[in-house]
Structure 1
Amino acid sequence: MPVGIVVRRSPGVTRWAKWAWKIVAVIPGAGPAEWRELRREGEVIEYHAATLTLEVWSTDTEAYLTTLAGHRPGVTVVMQPDTRHNAPMPWRASHVTVSAYEAQDYGDAGEAMLEIVPMPDAMIGWLQAFVETHHVEETFIKRRRDRLRVDLTEDGKGDARIRQMADVYRAPRGGTAP
């Protein structure tokens, strides 16, 4: 599904940051755009920064269920600093996901701007229909311990090819084995 990313630029609150950037919304089914101005109120401007493709996978339905189970399901948007020479804006939209687990992985990296924005009702219905179609409940299987005897004693350690008792962990040298 194509998803438009809406970013708000507002004046910074400190003298070190001229602008404050925040991902504020997504537009399901949006057409292509690159930093198209949507709305302006004084110095605050909202842009349709980009349109990314949201991909969902039948093997990740458990993560989607986790997302849908939240108080207000959200879409996670990741933006990276744009280091191109003549970049129109300092940020570049790089990824969009509805997987709670994938969002956590991006959050752990800490090198990008990451926001979880409310999922529009149309996307919630679309994702619920996908999960209902593809989700297979997996039964939990408790792993049992191996029946290995741990109370036995070892006669020796190291490589049996080494005759010297001083260092049994040393790798054998070239030549023939005893």
Structure 2
Amino acid sequence: MTADEMDDIAPTRMVGVVVGRRKATSEWASDPFVVTPHAVLSQAPALASGAPLGQVGALDLIYLGSAELALWSGETGHYRDNLATGAPRLWVALTGRGERVAVHLVTANPYEGESLADSPGLTLEAVAMPPDIAADLAVFVARRHVEEVFVKRKRDKARGDAGPRGPGRRA
């Protein structure tokens, strides 16, 4: 594979993150609004962070801002697993609460997304992957994936002169 072929699909791209904001329904809620990831746009639009995009039922859609979606050649097996589901996802993690929400991470790696589920202070949601990102991801995997053969380790044979605690040690 030539360097030109490798550069056809950039390993990073800027995406736009859309969040849904609704009023908190619990009387014990410390914040008046609940903000969750709603969608990822395949390109970051020329909108200001916080720009309203409309409503879906009781959910206000807001453009939160742009984020970097980075692809790593060592994770192509994980991306392949994501694409194999038939409904590939992007995991969006947000930090902050209420009106002070920011994008922490956008990833196509399902295992990285799963690992963030227990992170305190993060709001995590798996959202649908836009078709053009899925197509680019499939090309990235096809060009850069290297199957790693599993090699089982074998124990070293015990030395006859080693005794019960190893060579040079007294029992």
Q: TM-score of the superposition, structure 2-length normalised?
A: 0.79
Structure number, greater radius of gyration: 1
Shift of 1:5: 0.7
Tell me whether 67-76 or 49-58 shows the greater mean CA deviation: 67-76
Residue type at the aligned position of 2:18: V
For 1:117, which of 127, 142, 157 is the aligned residue?
Answer: 127
Match of 2:151 among 125, 141, 144: 141
Q: Which residue among 71, 74, 85 is the counterpart of 1:59?
A: 74
Q: Which residue of 1 aligns with 2:7?
A: none
The aligned amino acid for 2:133 is M
- CA deviation profile, 1:58-97 (whole Å, cap 9, x unmatched): 1211111122122421101111116xxxxx9221112111
Select between 30-39 and 73-82 the one with higher mean Cα deviation: 30-39
Letter matched to residue 153 of structure 1: P
Q: Distance in 2 between matches of 1:106 and 1:42?
A: 29
Q: Which of 58, 72, 92 does residue 77 from structure 1 map onto?
A: 92
Q: May I ask how many residue pairs the two structures share in their alignment?
A: 152
Q: Among 15, 18, 35, which residue is 1:6 paired with?
A: 18
Q: TM-score, normalised by structure 1?
A: 0.76
CA deviation after TM superposition for structure 1 residue 31, in Å = 2.7
Matched-pair identity in %: 30
Specify the SS of the correspondent of 1:59.
Answer: helix
Task: Give a deviation string over 1:22-81, Cα, whole Å, max 9, x none.
Answer: 211110112353111100367631101011111111121111112212242110111111
Aligned to 1:27: 41
Cα distance in 2, alignment partners of residues 138 and 57 from structure 1: 15
Q: Residue type of the partner of 1:13? A: T
Aligned equivalents of 2:89 and 2:21: distance in 1? 21
SS of residue in 2 equivalent to 1:53: strand
Tell me what 1:167 maps to.
none
For structure 2, list consecutive stretches of 5 or more residues without a partner in the other structure: 1-12
In the other structure, the counterpart of 1:175 is none
- Secondary structure of the equivalent of 1:29? coil
The structure, 1 or 2, with the larger RCO (C-alpha pairs under 8 Å, 6+ apart) is 2
> What is the CA–CA distance in structure 2 between the aligned matches of 1:42 and 1:65, rounded to whole Å?
35
C-alpha separation between the residues in 2 aligned to 1:43 and 1:104?
A: 28
> 2:44, 2:65 within 8 Å by CA — same for their partners in 1?
no
One-letter amino acid of the counterpart of residue 45, structure 2: G
In structure 1, the residue corresponding to 2:24 is in which secondary structure? strand
Q: Does 1:153 align with 2:167?
A: no
Query: Conserved in 2, the CA contact under 8 Å of 1:2 and 1:31?
Result: no
